[in-house]
Amino acid sequence: MTALPHATEKKLGLVIDLDTCVGCQACATSCKEWNTGGYSAPLTDQDPYGADPHGAWLNRVHAYEAGEGEASRTVHFPRSCLHCEEPDCVTVCPTGASYKRVEDGIVLVDPDTCIGCKLCSWACPYGAREYDYGHGVMKKCTLCVDRIYNEHLIEEDRIPACVRACPTGARHFGDLGDPGSAVSQLVAERGGFDLLPELGYKPVNKYLPPRSRRDARSAHPARQGSVGTHDGPAAGGAERLFAWVDRMLSR
Amino acid sequence: MHPAYSVILFTTASGAGFGLLAWLALFGMLGLVPPDRAFGLAGLALALGLITAGLLASTAHLGRPERAWRAFSQWRTSWLSREGVLAVATYIPALVLALGWVILERLDGPFAIMALLTVAGAVATLYATGMIYASLRTIRQWHQPLTAPIYVALGLASGAVLLNVLLRGFGIAHAGFSWLAIVCLIAAAGLKWAYWLTIDGELRTHTREAATGLGALGKVRPLEPPHTQPNFVMREMGYRIARKHARRLRDLAMLFAFGVPVVATLLTLVPGAGTAAAALAALSMAAGLLLERWLFFAEAEHVVMLYYDTEVA
């Protein structure tokens, strides 16, 4: 049923830390690996070894450059379904294949009733829904609904594959509807934000901004006069290393 | 947005079919066209044929056309579902009307009520088609108050042009129907013109900074895309057309969809030129509407492209 629930018991979602994401693509490949055999199976690829390889992915990691000159930053930016509270992708669905679960707020597509009209992908501002050219239906992030409640898995694996795979701990999973949950606390602490909030889809997933640099000097060790490593051949590799260790330990 | 040819064919063919159906039912009910068997058969067959061909064409863009029947279920929230329900529901009064007109040659009593329902169903279907696009907040050029009225206006205008061809062919034409087509064409052209002025005049308010939430750091530029080759989102939502081509194509759409049909319909008032001029109006309008519908897609910019190579949307 494509009518949205008035409220969901939980608001399960992800918190993605743009400060610590290194753009390694582990979340994206882990997602593809799990989901091509899980709820969304198959996630087909077209022309995989040819000149124009493409396929259905539920998570894509962009890289952006923000700011100018010395102050500019490279930010790796994973993008997947935000499991919005008011997702138009669900309400536009003509068949009822798209739905938002009352119990946890996860937005899902039933691959057995989807007709592949692609209208949901037109309604999503976040590019979260991809048409599977091989399967003829729409695919999207399931928040690993087949992992998080799966008692056949050991406890620590009952989280989305992307969260499990992230080597820097940049992805967090939890109930964003519960203000006391670890993810909600993290969002409050770090000033987590919504993407395109003005559109009114009320995304559940939050992004944490890159931390600001302490000062210009710590960002550019070559200018740091106090440790005396800036001038001439005297500044050896070992001294640079110590200066770096000193700065890291003083944080 | 990528122009899906099956959808373009569907909205233009079914649009003209519903327009023609609405006019036939209305004028049949009012007694302004005779309940003549041959005319009714030709007119209703053309209208329902165009509608059916369009609806069938629309299933060609589905990944799973065999499941298309499921699209009738979610009319509570989905304009696409509403359009499907209304389109199919309109067949019922239209076929009863056809029974009265073609078999019994009468359009009074219960058949008049069916005619009224047919008009309502046809216009509602045209409106629902427009609302599929107008309801999408992600595409500024579609999320416009004029989008749905234009779908209705273009359907009724192309229907009026087709009606004129039929009436001329059967030798039962009346100058009033030519004037009706001209008024519809000018009204639809005016709406389309106002639509283009609106979308050109609006500011683009969604930025890449808002899309990524990185505005506090400054201007945001894409550094690396997630994949080397275009994905579905880029193929479907990333289609765009050079602005200079859009201008020229708009002019051509205006010329073929409205300019030539208006002049040709005026010519139908000249004795002797009637049927040929009416047919020219219909052919030109078909070409013009296909172009207009193609542009409707090609000029539509989707917000999601902010994550790729668009700065503002």
3-state secondary structure A183-249: HHHHHHHHCCECCCHHHCCCCCCEEECCCCCCCHHHHCHHHCHHHCCCCCCCCCHHHHHHHHHHHHH
Say yes or no for a CB contact (<8 Å) between B73 and A127. no
**Six token digits for residue A242:** 């110590």
Query: Sorting pLDDT into bands at 50, 70 and 90, what band is A83?
Result: very high
CB B146 within 8 A of CB B191: yes
Q: Which residue has the tokens 């962009």?
A: A62
DSSP state of A54: E
A138: closest chain B residue by CA: B63
Say yes or no for a CB contact (<8 Å) between A57 and B226. yes
Could you report the per-residue pLDDT of B149-160, keeping only the tens digit for each?
Answer: 999 999 999 999
User: How far apart (Å, rounded) are the C-alpha atoms in residues B15 and B288?
Assistant: 14
Query: Sorting pLDDT into bands at 50, 70 and 90, what band is A229?
Result: very low
Within an 8 Å CB–CB cutoff, is residue A220 touching chain B? no
Is the pLDDT score of A226 beyond 70?
no
B58: closest chain A residue by CA: A117
Q: Which of B76, B223, B232 sits opposite A63 (nearest CB)?
A: B223
Quick one: average pLDDT of A236-242? 83
Residues of A (54-83) whose Cβ lies below 8 Å from B: 54-57, 60-68, 71-75, 77, 79
Quick one: average pLDDT of A141-167? 96
The gap from C-alpha A223 to its chain's centroid, in whole angstroms, comes to 36
User: How far apart (Å, rounded) are the C-alpha atoms in residues A203 and B214?
Assistant: 17
Within an 8 Å CB–CB cutoff, is residue A99 touching chain B? no
- CA of B61 to nearest chain A CA: how many angstroms apart? 7
Quick one: average pLDDT of B239-264? 92
Say yes or no for a CB contact (<8 Å) between B77 and A61. no
Asked which of A13-22, B117-126, B267-276 is least confident by mean pLDDT, the reply is B267-276
Is the pLDDT score of A6 beyond 50?
yes
pLDDT reported for residue B250: 95
User: How far apart (Å, rounded) are the C-alpha atoms in residues B10 and B83?
Assistant: 12
Asked which of A38-42, A191-195, B150-154 is least confident by mean pLDDT, the reply is A38-42
Does ipTM surpass 0.90 in this model? Answer: yes
User: How far apart (Å, rounded) are the C-alpha atoms in residues A141 and B149?
Assistant: 36
Buried b (16+ CB within 10 A) or exposed e, A217-238: eeeeeeebeebebeeeeebeee
State residue A71 phi and psi, 5-degree precision.
-80, 0
Quick one: average pLDDT of B165-189? 93
Query: Sorting pLDDT into bands at 50, 70 and 90, what band is A231?
Result: very low
Quick one: average pLDDT of A82-102? 96
Is the pLDDT score of A232 beyond 50?
no
Within an 8 Å CB–CB cutoff, is residue A18 touching chain B? yes
Is the pLDDT score of B118 beyond 60?
yes
pLDDT reported for residue A239: 83
Buried b (16+ CB within 10 A) or exposed e, B215-225: eebbebebeeb
Share of chain A above pLDDT 90, in %: 78
β-partners of residue A15 are A172, A206
**Six token digits for residue B225:** 């895309």
If you compute the radius of gyration of chain A from its CA atoms, what whole number of angstroms results? 22
User: Any idea of the CA torsion for A129, A132, A138, A141, to the nearest 10 degrees?
Assistant: -50
B229 interaction partners in chain A (CB closer than 8 Å): 52-54
Say yes or no for a CB contact (<8 Å) between B224 and A63. yes
- CA of A182 to nearest chain B CA: how many angstroms apart? 22
Q: Which of B208, B228, B307 sits opposite A127 (nearest CB)?
A: B307
CB A177 within 8 A of CB A10: yes
pLDDT reported for residue A216: 54
A72: closest chain B residue by CA: B217
DSSP state of B77: T
pLDDT reported for residue B257: 96
Say yes or no for a CB contact (<8 Å) between B219 and A123. no
Quick one: average pLDDT of A184-204? 96
User: How far apart (Å, rounded) are the C-alpha atoms in residues A94 and A99?
Assistant: 11
User: Any idea of the CA torsion for A89, A95, A98, A102, to the nearest 10 degrees?
Assistant: 110
